[in-house]
Amino acid sequence: MEAETDGGEQRLADFYNRRAAAGVDHPPSLNRAEQRERFIALLKSEGRHAILEIGTGTGQDGLKFVRAGIRYTGVDIAEGQVRRARSRGLEVSVASARRLPFPDGSFPALWSMSTLLHVPASGIDAVLAELVRVAAPGAPIAVGLWSGGDEEVLNPEDDVEPRFFCRRSDATVRSVFGRHGTIEEFVTWQEGTGTESGPGAGHWTQHYQFLVLRTPGSVS
């Protein structure tokens, strides 16, 4: 698998550029939207007024953060998705989670849904260290993933340049993320059956994983 390399990441970007060109949004499920609203409430309760999103897509979550009064910055590897997000008035740039173009401690909170599942096991610790680097001490980082049996596979529903997925068990997610901070929340849920259950064209048994990682340091 080459998802960690620049070539693999470019193939992933090509896939999402084609999706952006099709002009179709893929709205989050009700459960994910509810978790987003809960996270917004957490940010407000802690006086956190800015956020960085890793993997902005076309900006659907970004708009919700902006409308909640939170200053929004986003990055995505797909230029087409960045253009669509910018057309909605969002501050988004093309960048990889492996090399974020921000100084240390720039953001009081981070958000990343269905993005880090494209990072292989060999690269996830470096990516998480990069997220923690740009986060302020004590910042909450919300992450959403699709589960699996700790295997690295290509998505069978993708006919052209299939996407790479690292499908992690709940125990592995807790272990890996726990090396980079404190997991304050970890919840899972089913999102349907068959082709409605998420990626994999109905061939994968999985559930959605949502966690909030608190970076080391004092909560301000």
At 86-127, the pLDDT tens digits run: 999 999 999 999 999 999 999 999 999 999 999 999 999 999
Q: What is the mean pLDDT of residues 57-64?
A: 96
Domains of the chain, residue spans:
6-214
Indicate the pTM of the whole model: 0.94
More confidently predicted of 183 and 217: 183
> What is the dotted CATH code of the domain comprising 6-214?
3.40.50.150
Cα separation, 10 vs 78, whole angstroms: 8
Residue 64 · residue 40 · CB < 8 Å: yes
First to last CA, the chain: 40
pLDDT of the residue at 219 = 60
150 and 170 Cβ atoms separated by less than 8 Å: no
Per-residue pLDDT at 4: 47
Give the distance, in angstroms, between the CA of residue 9 and the centroid of all CA atoms in the same chain.
Answer: 15
Cα separation, 17 vs 78, in Å, equals 6
